[in-house]
Amino acid sequence: MPRDYGRITVQPAPDYGPGYGPSKNDLDDFIDFLEDLVEIIEEIAEWLEDWDGPGGFTYTPGTSLDDTIAANDASQVITAFSGNDIIETGAGTDFVFAGVGNDTIILGSGTNYVRGGLDSDTFVFTEGASGTTFIRDLIPGQDVIDVSALGVTGFEDMVVRSYGYGTILYVDDLTIHVEMPLGALSESDFIFA
């Protein structure tokens, strides 16, 4: 049953039975899991401190399995923890923390704050994607931004600007903020049409 904490509603994780979740027999894995969880909670708190948008958030936790999580059009906080997850954002304001695993994060409209986490992650923009997406932890040579559905064939099809420590990419009605200096991004960090 969902628990309501005012601005945030917590949805229970699916119950897959005993033996799933972080390994309780391996102390190192469990400590890593808890450290990741603390980092996620701190980031959520930091973002929500300045939140000015409509309504509250729904919190949707994943598991240690390969989860498929689809957001609705309300505002959501999604944590997938571990596993090779597929996460699809909705039209609201979504905060995605994919965690450990080779994750695919599908981005359409709305405002999205995204952390792929460890391992190789793919940030996929759907055809007609719009709004603003903030990619917080792109790892060059490991993670990729897939803009092929937008018809983008290379950097020449985007307006690319540097800002502070990051880079802003403009494609039609879509703005992508990548927390990485412009000079650090290369064509190998993208999947083009």
Instruction: Give the Cα separation of 117 and 72 in Å (integer).
Output: 22
From first to last of its 193 residues, the chain has per-residue pLDDT tens of: 555 545 455 555 555 455 545 444 555 666 666 676 667 666 666 666 655 555 667 778 888 889 999 988 888 888 887 889 999 998 888 989 998 899 999 999 999 999 998 889 999 999 999 999 999 989 888 999 999 999 999 999 999 999 888 999 999 999 999 999 888 999 999 999 9
DSSP secondary structure code for residue 180 in this structure = S
Short-list 55, 45, 110, 119, CA closest to 81: 119
d(CA 39, CA 61): 15
Residue-level length of the chain: 193
Give me the pLDDT at residue 33, please.
63
Q: List strand residue ranges (DSSP E) for 42-142, in order.
A: 57-61, 68-70, 75-79, 86-88, 93-97, 104-107, 111-115, 122-125, 131-135
| pLDDT at residue number 52 | 56
Closest CA to 145 of 168, 165, 164: 168
